[in-house]
Amino acid sequence: MMSLQVVTPHIKCIFDCPFCISKGHIHNNKFINNYLLNYNLWENNLINVIKNNNDLKYIVITGTNEPMQSKDYVNDVIDIIRKVNSNIQIEIQTHYYKEDDIYNKLDVVAYSVSNVNLLDKIKPIGNIQRYVIIMTDSFNGYDLDSILKLIPRSVKQITFKKLIDSNGVNEEMDKYILNHSIDNNTLKKLKEDIDKYNGNLSIRLDLDCMNSINRYKIFREDGNLYDNWEEVSND
Ligand code: SF4
């Protein structure tokens, strides 16, 4: 396992994005919060996952709500990883644009941005700064060059992500995605631009971010490891 996603305990998200894939799971994000109820079990399981996977190089802290709503959890995850294997790179994926000390403890701060008007409004901080561009229809008509002009120069990595629907689990969300995804012409042009790009930034297109197979595993607040986002515990 090269990469692991560590998920913060689920609570109601402060942002409520209409395209949020967390609203599209059959399990409704109901996992036991052993971080709260049985900290030793949760901590030992995380330590064992890190120790038992020598090939683990990258951990992403994410959430089924904004992960910065659980700063203690984020701090504990960072401290545990640093203590067990200081070679692992740690990233957080966040919509929380305010400056916070946590960001300086991480290797990569990945800011999710779903509206083109926000690209030049964020003041990113952190060692390596990444923008995760959620391709809503606000990006229609923009090519790579026009997007790059809006992004602060300190940002070194950019990932373009396609909106993923819930395949009927959440009709409201699926309707939003159908009506507010980037249009096909803009997407096609962006893909061509990204393929041709040979500048200094790391730029990639992720058309299937929720597909974990052969990419990453998921460690949840119950202290269990999962192969995919739909899997539930047998306990
Ligand atoms: S901030 Fe993230 S978790 Fe919260 S609603 Fe938006 S996409 Fe979902």
- pLDDT, tens only, 95-154: 999 999 999 999 999 999 999 999 999 999 999 999 999 999 999 999 999 999 999 999
For the CA of 16, the nearest atom of ligand 1: 5
Q: What is the pLDDT of residue 173?
A: 96
Class of residue 76 by CB neighbours under 10 A (exposed 0-12, middle 13-18, buried 19+) = middle
Q: So what's the pLDDT on residue 228?
A: 93
Compare 56 and 210 and report the one with higher pLDDT.
56
The CATH code of the domain that includes 89 is 3.20.20.70
CA 165 to ligand 1 center in whole angstroms: 14
Cβ–ligand 1 distance for 115 under 6 Å, the answer no
- Out of 17, 94, 111, 161, mutate this one to test ligand 1's pocket (max ligand atoms within 8 Å of CB): namely 17
Instruction: Examine residue 235 and state whether it is found in any structural domain, yes or no.
Output: no
Inside any domain, residue 116: yes
Q: How many domains would you assign to the chain?
A: 1
Q: Is the pLDDT of residue 233 over 90?
A: no
Q: Does residue 12 lie within any of the structural domains? A: yes
The larger pLDDT score, comparing residue 211 to residue 122, is at 122
Q: Is the residue at 152 inside a domain?
A: yes
- Domain presence at residue 232: no
Looking at the CA of residue 95, tell me the nearest atom of ligand 1: 1
What residue's CA is closest to ligand 1, atom 4?
65
Q: How far is CA 33 from the centre of its chain?
A: 20
**Residue 86 pLDDT greater than 90, yes or no:** yes
Give the pLDDT score at 4. 97
* 41: amino acid identity, one letter: L
Q: Is 94 in the pocket of ligand 1 (CB under 6 A)?
A: no
The pLDDT confidence band at residue 214, using thresholds 50, 70 and 90, is confident
CB-ligand 1 contact for 7 (6 Å cutoff): no
Task: Look at residue 234 in the predicted model and tell me its pLDDT.
Answer: 77
Model-level pTM? 0.95
> Which residue range is the domain that position 152 belongs to?
3-226
Average pLDDT, stretch 175-203? 97
pLDDT class for 209, splitting at 50, 70, 90?
Answer: confident
Position 158 in a domain = yes
Q: Is 85 domain-assigned?
A: yes
pLDDT computed for residue 3 by the predictor:
94
pLDDT in tens, 159-173: 999 999 999 999 999
Question: What does the pLDDT read at residue 211?
Answer: 80
Give me the chain's average pLDDT, please.
96
Q: CA–CA separation, 207 vs 226, rounded Å?
A: 21
The structure tokens 């290797």 sit at 107
Per-position b or e across 85-120, b if 16+ CB within 10 A of its CB: beebebbbbbbbbeebebbebbebbbbbbbebebbe
